[in-house]
């Protein structure tokens, strides 16, 4: 890829959770560890518990992202609801301690998406990078440090100060401004079709879908996709698969029902 390549992007935007940091498996591992300590959490199945918890996180994300509620308050409210669903009566202080214990375990079992840190450090040798993520700056900055990506990410863009989370156009425009590129010279890589793919697409940034869980493609948009960082995807080819009509090498046909 060279500067003269008219199809090559001049900057890359990246999602963080479940694109670089393995949020889903970290949540699962933390809940598995918590269940070992608290028998009542073994009443629901592990799948029911962690899928339900992930859904609660999704529900809370917009409010946490723009600072309407702190991550800790949202977490404590989630665990209060989980405790109630398990049919357990527990003092408020005890549920707060449970939530804090979960968060300690989450940090302890944290893991990267396999191969992502290495791939991003390589990418950063040739392109400026912004991470655009729907969570608080402090917690996401800590994740970047954990991943060893603090110096490979030029800008960490969160909804705080912007007031709008992905897929809102404002957060994407803020990232472009910090990178100093126009939308059609940038690429966005993320795992969420709604906030990453459609959000980027709406402002003219070419998205690449990191479809790590092999979800069905929700719409027949000309969007490249890949499913793992190892073996290293042909990032140069993926990044060139941009613009109207561009379909990535791994995209395959869109489901006919859509
Ligand atoms: Mg994500």
What are the chain's domains? Answer: 11-22+112-240 (3.40.50.1000), 23-108 (1.10.150)
Strand partners, 156: 131
In the structure, what pLDDT confidence band is assigned to residue 243 with cuts at 50, 70 and 90?
Answer: very low
What spacing in Å lies between the alpha carbon of 76 and ligand 1's midpoint?
22
Q: Which is nearest to 207 in space by CA: 179, 167, 163? A: 167
So what's the pLDDT on residue 6? 63
What spacing in Å lies between the alpha carbon of 194 and ligand 1's midpoint?
10
Q: Which is nearest to 162 in space by CA: 132, 207, 197, 205? A: 132
So what's the pLDDT on residue 250? 38
Strand partners, 21: 17, 112
CA distances to 35, 42, 64, 72 from 60, rounded to whole Å, are 23, 24, 6, 11
What spacing in Å lies between the alpha carbon of 75 and ligand 1's midpoint?
18
What spacing in Å lies between the alpha carbon of 258 and ligand 1's midpoint?
23
In the structure, what pLDDT confidence band is assigned to residue 249 with cuts at 50, 70 and 90?
Answer: very low
User: Whole-angstrom Cα distance, residue 211 to residue 104?
Assistant: 29
- What is the radius of gyration, based on Cα positions, of the chain? 19
So what's the pLDDT on residue 239? 77
- CB atoms under 10 Å from CB of 125, counted, come to 7
Average pLDDT, the chain: 89
In the structure, what pLDDT confidence band is assigned to residue 232 with cuts at 50, 70 and 90?
Answer: confident
In the structure, what pLDDT confidence band is assigned to residue 221 with cuts at 50, 70 and 90?
Answer: confident
So what's the pLDDT on residue 147? 98
Taking only the tens place, the pLDDT of each residue in 100-116 is: 999 999 999 999 999 99
Taking only the tens place, the pLDDT of each residue in 121-164 is: 999 999 999 999 999 999 999 999 999 999 999 999 999 989 99
Ligand 1 (single-atom ion) residues, CB below 5 Å: 15, 17-18, 191-192
Lowest mean pLDDT, pick from 23-32, 81-90, 217-226, 236-245:
236-245
pLDDT at 2 over 50: no
So what's the pLDDT on residue 8? 79
So what's the pLDDT on residue 80? 95
Q: Is 190 exposed, middle or buried (0-12, 13-18, 19+ CB in 10 A)?
A: buried
The pTM score is 0.87
């Amino acid at each position: 890829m060279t500067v003269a390549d008219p199809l090559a992007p001049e900057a890359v935007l990246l999602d963080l959770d479940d694109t670089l940091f393995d949020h889903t498996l970290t949540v699962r591992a933390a809940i598995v560890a918590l269940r070992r300590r608290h028998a009542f959490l073994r009443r629901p199945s592990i799948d029911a518990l962690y899928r339900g918890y992930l859904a609660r996180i999704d529900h809370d994300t917009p409010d946490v992202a723009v600072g309407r509620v702190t991550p800790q308050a949202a977490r404590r409210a989630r665990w209060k609801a989980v405790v109630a669903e398990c049919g357990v009566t527990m003092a408020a202080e005890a549920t707060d301690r449970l939530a804090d214990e979960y968060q300690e375990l989450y940090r302890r079992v944290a893991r990267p998406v396999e191969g992502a840190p290495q791939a991003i450090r390589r990418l950063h040798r040739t392109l400026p990078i912004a991470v655009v993520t729907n969570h608080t700056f402090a917690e996401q900055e800590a994740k970047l440090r954990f991943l060893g990506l603090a110096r490979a990410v030029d800008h960490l863009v969160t909804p705080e100060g912007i007031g709008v989370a992905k897929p809102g156009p404002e957060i994407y425009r803020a990232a472009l401004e910090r990178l100093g590129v126009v939308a059609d010279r940038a690429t966005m890589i993320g795992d969420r079709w709604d906030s990453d793919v459609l959000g980027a697409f709406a402002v003219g940034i070419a998205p690449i879908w990191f479809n790590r869980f092999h979800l069905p493609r929700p719409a027949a948009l000309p969007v490249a996709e890949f499913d793992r960082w190892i073996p290293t995807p042909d990032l140069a080819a993926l990044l060139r698969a941009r613009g109207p009509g561009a379909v990535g090498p791994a995209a395959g046909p869109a489901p006919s029902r859509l």
